[in-house]
Amino acid sequence: MTADLHVHVHLSPSIPTAVTDLPPDLDVRVWSPIATTLLGGEREAVVVDPPLTVAQSASVVERVLAWGRELTTIYVTHAHGDHWFGAAALLEHFPAARVVALPAVAEAARRQSPEDIAAFWEPRFPGGQIPTTLTPPEPLDGEEFDLEGHELVAVPLGHTDTDHTSALHVPSLGLVVAGDAVYDDVHLYLAESDGGGRRAWRDALDVVGTLHPTTVVAGHQRPGSTGNPTAIDATRRYLDDVEDLLPRTSSALGFYRAMRARHPDRVNPGALWGSARAAFPAEVTA
Ligand SMILES: [Zn+2]
């Protein structure tokens, strides 16, 4: 008889960034809340998507230690640093744990050079917020691993908010840890999704839907989210709105305002501003 698994979603709240490019209605750009999922059996634990900064990672370490289980595996859904830079902090306490991802994800994480990290993450989070020791994931052998008799399945999703993304499916719980394929009431990061990316993202949402989850952990979610799978359709509708509004707007600000009118309450409109800027790159250099 296999004991039930326990699930705990640890949300790292929004934190300010040093980005100074702002739309007229905001005075700070923040990073969206980041979800880290803890899966626990009786003795062992798996962590999915450790967060970004030193302080966020310390909170996750504290939570995992308080759980009283041995961390065996850290699974990384995709290569963005806000979903794996904190792995090394966990390994300090659980040196026998392995950090794994699908091979394409592991490869994309390893390709990030210290120069890339210095150019992207450090200006946004200055003053030593980004960990200096990084442990990128190793390629997972196959697409499944085990937590005390429960099968955990890595599901390749292709492009969502970046290339080579995945979800972790826990069939015994009806749970999908969706990484950034699903956003729950948070503005999407779209800067990598032009040129067919949004179509690929919709296809990925279809794949998540075919797993018929009863709970979906979105990589970025509003505090208090209950993991309702309706976030899958809401993410699709957001992408539909982008498709509808992009051809009908002619500036970053026009697009931003039109999207905000349709999604007035989503968390982190600054992320939408980043997407709007990426959609109208000529304005940025003008
Ligand atoms: Zn993310």
For ligand 1, the distance from its centroid to the CA atom of residue 145, given in whole angstroms, is 23
Q: What is the pLDDT of residues 225-247, one digit of tens each?
A: 999 999 999 999 999 999 999 99
For ligand 1, the distance from its centroid to the CA atom of residue 1, given in whole angstroms, is 36
Q: What is the pLDDT of residues 256-268, one digit of tens each?
A: 999 999 999 999 9
Mean pLDDT computed over every residue of the chain: 96
Q: What is the pLDDT of residues 175-211, one digit of tens each?
A: 999 999 999 999 999 999 888 899 999 999 999 999 9
For ligand 1, the distance from its centroid to the CA atom of residue 154, given in whole angstroms, is 17
Residue 286 pLDDT > 60, yes or no?
no
Write the CB contacts of 224 (distance below 8 Å, at least 6 apart in sequence): none
Name the burial class of residue 177, with classes exposed (0-12), middle (13-18) and buried (19+) by CB atoms within 10 angstroms of its CB: buried
Residue 253 pLDDT > 60, yes or no?
yes
Name the burial class of residue 158, with classes exposed (0-12), middle (13-18) and buried (19+) by CB atoms within 10 angstroms of its CB: middle
| CB 9 within 8 Å of CB 168 | no
Which residues have a beta carbon within 5 Å of ligand 1, which is an ion? Answer: 80, 82, 180, 219
Residue 2 pLDDT > 80, yes or no?
no
Residue type at position 285: T
Residue type at position 58: A
For ligand 1, the distance from its centroid to the CA atom of residue 219, given in whole angstroms, is 6
Beta bridge partners of 32: none
For ligand 1, the distance from its centroid to the CA atom of residue 33, given in whole angstroms, is 9
For ligand 1, the distance from its centroid to the CA atom of residue 189, given in whole angstroms, is 8
In this prediction the pTM is 0.97
What's the mean pLDDT in 99-107? 98
For ligand 1, the distance from its centroid to the CA atom of residue 229, given in whole angstroms, is 18
For ligand 1, the distance from its centroid to the CA atom of residue 220, given in whole angstroms, is 6
Domain spans, the chain: 6-285
Q: What is the pLDDT of residues 14-64, one digit of tens each?
A: 999 999 999 999 999 999 999 999 999 999 999 999 999 999 999 999 999
For ligand 1, the distance from its centroid to the CA atom of residue 50, given in whole angstroms, is 11
For ligand 1, the distance from its centroid to the CA atom of residue 34, given in whole angstroms, is 7
For ligand 1, the distance from its centroid to the CA atom of residue 29, given in whole angstroms, is 15
For ligand 1, the distance from its centroid to the CA atom of residue 246, given in whole angstroms, is 23
For ligand 1, the distance from its centroid to the CA atom of residue 2, given in whole angstroms, is 33
For ligand 1, the distance from its centroid to the CA atom of residue 286, given in whole angstroms, is 29
**Of the candidates 68, 79, 77, the residue with the CA atom closest to the CA atom of residue 36:** 77
What's the mean pLDDT in 60-72? 97
For ligand 1, the distance from its centroid to the CA atom of residue 265, given in whole angstroms, is 19
pLDDT band at 282 (very low <50, low <70, confident <90, very high): confident
Sheet holding 6-12, edge to edge: 6-12, 34-40, 44-48, 70-75, 98-101, 138-139
pLDDT band at 3 (very low <50, low <70, confident <90, very high): confident
For ligand 1, the distance from its centroid to the CA atom of residue 44, given in whole angstroms, is 26
pLDDT band at 1 (very low <50, low <70, confident <90, very high): low
182: left (phi over 0), alpha (psi -120 to 50) or beta: beta
For ligand 1, the distance from its centroid to the CA atom of residue 261, given in whole angstroms, is 24
Q: What is the pLDDT of residues 116-154, one digit of tens each?
A: 998 999 999 999 999 999 999 999 999 999 999 999 999
pLDDT band at 285 (very low <50, low <70, confident <90, very high): low
- CA 133, CA 285: separation in Å to the nearest integer? 34
**Phi, psi angles (nearest 5°) of residue 174:** 65, 30
Residue type at position 9: V
**CATH top class, domain 6-285:** alpha beta
For ligand 1, the distance from its centroid to the CA atom of residue 3, given in whole angstroms, is 32
